[in-house]
Amino acid sequence: MNTDKNNIENMPDLSVEIGGVRLQNPVMTASGTFGSGMEYSDFVDLSKLGAVVTKGVSAVPWEGNPTPRVAETPSGMLNAIGLQNPGVEVFCERDLAFLSNYRTKAAADAVGDGPRVIVNVCGHTVEEYLEVVERLSDEPVDLLEINVSCPNVKAGAIQFGQNADSLMDVTQRIKRIAKQPVIMKLTPNVTDIAEMARAAEAGGADAVSLINTLLGMKIDVERRTFVLANRTGGLSGPAIRPVAVRMVYQAAQAVKIPVIGMGGIGSAEDALEFILAGATAVAVGCMTFHEPATAVSVIDGMKDYMIRHGIERISDLTGAVR
Amino acid sequence: MTETAIRKQKMRAEVLRHETLAPGIRSLELRVPELPSAARPGQFVGVYTGDGAMLLPRPISICDSGDEKELRLVYRVAGKGTAEIAGLKAGEETQILGILGNGYPVEELKNKRVLLLGGGIGIPPMLLLAKQLSALNSGEEKDQSPVITVLGYRDAQMFLREEFEKYAQVFIATEDGSVGTKGNVLTAVKQEGIRADAICACGPMPMLRAVKAYAAQEGIACYISLEERMACGVGACLGCVAKTTREDEHSHVKNTRICTEGPVFNAKYVDI
């Protein structure tokens, strides 16, 4: 009995598998909240993360929306960045180069597998998504996350994620050319999340991640204007967590592929809610803005939880609440 | 400007003093044991509120930096977050994220006749700048290259004025004309016939636009500090961007991150 407990204390197994790729632990960063890792490398030892999910990348540079782009709301925030990014070429030369250096270093230091690199892909048209996916074929990228759920750009993105037929179609077309496993990132701004998860699975997705932000609005009553220049924005943070847990549960019930859960995760307990609801892995998003080291403390807290409860493998907890 | 690699971190800060300087204007002196370096004028920190439902740190410029472990922040109580911060008492602790942003190019301004323009809550960061510029230019150089400051207030409810007088020649402009020149900082510059080799400015956007135009017309260097609603404060979220006149080196579009490439910009390169 004692020996068993010691074994778990030494190494509870936090590793998980998504699309055949092993992650050293189930904690990743949510796209758009962590740049490409560089910006937070002062605060966080990136080599400890399960994966770094990059800011959305498009075929050519995107300007994004006018400011104000962000607004705080109770236990959350609205954003309407509009997927500003330097385009896939600069991204490969600069951001991917940075991240792969980090992986090499992590491997050399023998601290585990190092963080997996997941690139979030966005586009206005299916062709634009395909261009980025193709460009990334031979780059040091472990998984692709396809953003069909950003509420802040006028064309593309969410249009593909709010209709089951188009979601299945875009998934199929991406899967046909993608060299890396494909995660479809789903929007909560739909009537039936299970239907969308099934459409992604039917299209051949290797996993789904959810939830992207909930469409919201904030009004400045003194000035009698919208706070965000874009008028609407995506709500994130602990305010949306119960909605996210519910949707992850429904999606996990509907599909066999792994579900990556996110929405206001700030602690190991929050992350475990998602895992118990059916998530294989989780992502920390806007709480990084509150506490830059959140993702690492979530990993540490999960380890403590597993030791405390005598759980050998984190994957044993996935969907344990039914 | 030399890019010094300063480690950013979230740090514990002890409140040494916290007082009201003018209606709605608070001065917060902090001791920050883990402060990684001395602050440069124009840099800022993110101050957390004690309320967990307010997730984001409030960006507040650094007004003064005593020794390497002390910071003074002078801020306006503008909303719920700063109202919460305003309740901090001496001896209590808070948390800050810092040190953030680039700051004014102090070295480039050495031995130049520098004009500092501060409007309203844009005044505080100018104090550390005046202090450092005054220390750089000593002896004869000081007489030839004085630091000149024009402070713009709404009315006679002024703050920090006496402290500027220790380091700089000070002119005052008030909107209601109760003290100094009636009008804004540029009205005072023109009325007093102030000449300079370079301008450093911080204040509301209409003032910065006018200062940028004035500097362009006079053909002198001009550095302005911009503000915008921020989330992460470290360049990750791309929430606080300013339009640029040329493609930004980081973003590869005509947007630059105020929290990281700024908040201080050469006025020529921002489209405000």
Q: How far apart are the first and last CA of chain B?
A: 22
Beta strands A214-217 and A281-284 are unpaired
Reported as a pLDDT band with limits 50, 70 and 90, residue B124 is very high
* Claim to verify: residue B52 and residue B84 sit in the same structural domain: yes
More confident residue, B110 or A130: A130
> Does a structural domain hold residue B152?
yes
> Does a structural domain hold residue B49?
yes
Q: Does A249 touch chain B (CB under 8 A)?
A: no
Looking at residue B37, what is its pLDDT?
83
* Claim to verify: residue B195 and residue B250 sit in the same structural domain: no
Report residues of chain A scoring pLDDT below 70.
1-10, 104-112, 155-156
* Claim to verify: residue B93 and residue B13 sit in the same structural domain: yes
> Does a structural domain hold residue B105?
no
Q: Are A277 and A252 in contact (CB under 8 A)?
A: yes
Structure tokens at B14: 């002890």
Looking at residue A2, what is its pLDDT?
44
Q: Are A185 and A209 in contact (CB under 8 A)?
A: yes
Give the C-alpha separation, A78 to A229, whole Å.
12
Looking at residue A112, what is its pLDDT?
63
> Does a structural domain hold residue B265?
yes
Give A18's DSSP letter.
E
Domain count along chain B? 3
Residue extents of the structural domains in chain A: 2-317
Per-residue pLDDT of B148-175, as tens digits, reads: 999 999 999 999 999 999 999 999 999 9
Looking at residue A113, what is its pLDDT?
72
B245 φ, ψ to 5°? -85, -15
> Does a structural domain hold residue B63?
yes
Beta strands B44-47 and B25-31 are unpaired
> Does a structural domain hold residue B200?
yes
Alpha-carbon radius of gyration of chain A: 19
Q: Are B94 and B85 in contact (CB under 8 A)?
A: yes
Q: Of the ranges A318-322, B107-111, B226-230, which one carries the lowest mean pLDDT score?
A: B107-111
Instruction: Tell me the chain B residues in contact with residue A152 when contact means C-beta distances shorter than 8 Å.
Output: none
* Claim to verify: residue B65 and residue B45 sit in the same structural domain: yes
The dihedral of CA B81, B82, B83, B88: what is its sign? positive
Best of B238, B241, B255, B271 to disrupt the A interface by mutation (most A CBs within 10 Å)?
B238
Nearest to A43, CA basis, from A294, A286, A269, A275: A294
Tokens 């440069």, residue?
Answer: B40
Q: How many residues does chain A have?
A: 322
Looking at residue A3, what is its pLDDT?
45
Nearest to A263, CA basis, from A201, A214, A190, A196: A214
Structure tokens at A3: 């020996």
Tokens 């439902």, residue?
Answer: B53
Best of A52, A270, A290 to disrupt the B interface by mutation (most B CBs within 10 Å)?
A290
Instruction: Tell me the chain A residues in contact with residue B228 when contact means C-beta distances shorter than 8 Å.
Output: 67-68
Percent of chain B with pLDDT strictly greater than 90: 89
In this complex, the residue of A40, A64, A71 whose CB is nearest that of residue B229 is: A71
- Among chain B residues, the shortest Cα distance to A94 is held by B250
Per-residue pLDDT of A209-266, as tens digits, reads: 999 999 999 999 999 999 999 999 999 999 999 999 999 999 999 999 999 999 999 9
Mind giving me the DSSP string for A104-142?
HHHHHTTSSS--EEEEEE--SSHHHHHHHHHHTTTSS-S
* Claim to verify: residue B93 and residue B140 sit in the same structural domain: no
Per-residue pLDDT of B20-51, as tens digits, reads: 999 999 999 999 999 988 899 999 999 999 99
Looking at residue B2, what is its pLDDT?
37
Structure tokens at A86: 């330097």
Q: Report the CATH number at residue B64.
A: 2.40.30.10
> Does a structural domain hold residue B108?
no
Within 10 A of B80 (CB to CB), how many other CB atoms are there? 14
Angle between helices A193-202 and A241-254 (to 10 degrees): 50
Within 10 A of B136 (CB to CB), how many other CB atoms are there? 18
**Cis peptide preceding B99, ω within 30 of 0:** yes
Q: Domain range for residue B39?
A: 9-100
Q: Does A39 touch chain B (CB under 8 A)?
A: yes
* Claim to verify: residue B76 and residue B127 sit in the same structural domain: no
Q: Which amino acid is at A144?
A: L
- Consecutive H or E run containing B141: helix B139-144
Instruction: Tell me the chain B residues in contact with residue A288 when contact means C-beta distances shorter than 8 Å.
Output: 232, 236
Q: Report the CATH number at residue B246.
A: 2.10.240.10
* Claim to verify: residue B129 and residue B190 sit in the same structural domain: yes
Contact at CB, A61 and B254, closer than 8 angstroms: no
In this complex, the residue of A39, A61, A67 whose CB is nearest that of residue B253 is: A61
Looking at residue A155, what is its pLDDT?
67
* Claim to verify: residue B117 and residue B212 sit in the same structural domain: yes
* Claim to verify: residue B127 and residue B150 sit in the same structural domain: yes
Looking at residue B1, what is its pLDDT?
35
- Rounded to two decimals, the ipTM of the complex is 0.93
- Which of the residues of A are catalytic? 150
* Claim to verify: residue B213 and residue B117 sit in the same structural domain: yes
Q: Does A220 touch chain B (CB under 8 A)?
A: no
In this complex, the residue of A62, A63, A290 whose CB is nearest that of residue B55 is: A290
B47 φ, ψ to 5°? -105, 130
Task: Look up the pTM and report it.
Answer: 0.94
Quick one: chain A helix, strand, coil %, rounded to 5?
40, 20, 40
Looking at residue A253, what is its pLDDT?
98
B188-201 average pLDDT score: 96
Give the C-alpha separation, A272 to A270, whole Å.
5
Q: Report the CATH number at residue B195.
A: 3.40.50.80
List the helix and strand counts (H, then E) for chain B. 6, 15
A2-317: CATH superfamily: Aldolase class I (3.20.20.70)
